[in-house]
Structures are given as structure tokens and as C-alpha cells.
Amino acid sequence: MMFSTSLTAMAVTGLLAYGSIPAQPAWVSDYRTALTQSVESQKPVAVFIAHGGDGYAKLVTDGGIGADAAKLLKQSYVCVYVDTDTKSGKDLAGSFGMSKGLVISNKSGTVQALRHEGAVSPTDLATYLERYSQTNTVTTTATNVATPAAPAPVVAAPAPVYAPAFNPYLAPSFGVSSCPNCRR
């Protein structure tokens, strides 16, 4: 029993030493705390908006956050995960105006440098993280990416039915007069 525990510990230590398991960044769930850390550390904020306990990994397609992106996040960003399954997460996602996506802000947290709605590919994530980790000043949103949504189904509205403007009264004529009021 002791032999297998020692062997397992050595195997995990060996994997960590060679970098086979990417080191994940520290995730902050409170946005205000993240902004304070961002100002103190002079690092931009990377906000991952998704749902579930590990939604930040599901936000990235094709297997989640890769080793390069994880390294950049850990070294160069204050990382925030907004879980939309929680009430506070839904509220914060609503203030960003999206239910799933990635937002990267400048180092003071006052300007969005990147806004990516929907899932992001590992390649795009690495490109975004590299680009905005080196940006010293961002004054406006530099990149706004929206994942195309499925087109809305076309529903034909029923044709309107109009009532006639007047209802003509046609009375049969029985006799000489044709006036229905006179009845002569």
C-alpha cells in the first residue's frame, strides 16, 4: 500500500515537473475584488462568462483552455469566472450584456479591450491573450467579436381580416316602391 502511494506521488510530481499538466490560473468570482487586484498588479482582467462549475473550460471549444493560454492567464491576467447558474452571476453577465463569452479589459478595468460573445476557439483565445497582455493603454473597445447566431425562423403573420366600413341593407322590393323605410 505504501509503495503504490509513493509511486503515485512520484508520477504526479514528474508530470508537474515536465509541464504535462497545465497550471490553471487562480479564478476570482468577485468582480470588484478582481478590479482591485488588476489595479494593484497592473494586469488586465479576463472575464469568462459561462455556466456551471467549470464553465470557463467549456467556453473554449475543442478541449478547453490549452497549456499556452493557461500560462498566459496565470502570468499576465487577473482571471474572473462569472457562473451564470448563480443569481449574482446572471446579474453580472447581464451588466456585460451577454450570457456566454469573454471580455478582456485594460489594466485599470475601465475599458473593454476585447468583447467576444459565444464560445471561443483555443487559437483565438491564445491570440487574444497574447495581444492584450502586452497592451499598455486601451482607450476604446479594440475588438468586438460575435459568434453568429442561428437565424431566427421565419414565421408568416396571418393575413389581417378587415370588417367592412358599412353594412349595406338590401331589402327585397315587393311592389311599386323600392324604399325599405317607406314600405309602400
pLDDT of residue 104: 93
How confident is the prediction for the chain on average, in pLDDT? Answer: 76
State mean pLDDT over 37-59. Answer: 89
82 by DSSP, 3-state: which? strand
Q: Report the side by side order of strands in the sheet with 78-83.
A: 27-28, 78-83, 45-50, 101-105, 112-117, 143-146
pLDDT digits (tens, 9 = 90+) for 117-169: 999 999 999 999 999 887 664 555 555 555 544 455 555 666 666 665 655 55
pTM greater than the 0.85 cutoff: no
Q: CB within 8 A of 31, min separation 6: which ones?
A: 47, 80, 82, 92
State mean pLDDT over 39-49. Answer: 92
Find, among 106, 6, 88, the residue nearest to 46 by Cα: 106
Which CATH fold would you assign to the domain 19-146?
Answer: Glutaredoxin (3.40.30)
Taking the C-alpha atoms of residue 23 and residue 170, their distance in angstroms, rounded to an integer, is 89
Hey, what's the cell of 40?
Answer: 494593484
Reply yes or no on whether the pLDDT at 96 is more than 60.
Answer: yes
State the burial class of residue 90 (Cβ atoms within 10 Å of its Cβ: 0-12, 13-18, 19+).
Answer: middle
DSSP assigned state of 123:
H
Taking the C-alpha atoms of residue 21 and residue 14, their distance in angstroms, rounded to an integer, is 10
Hey, what's the cell of 156?
Answer: 408568416
pLDDT of residue 86: 93
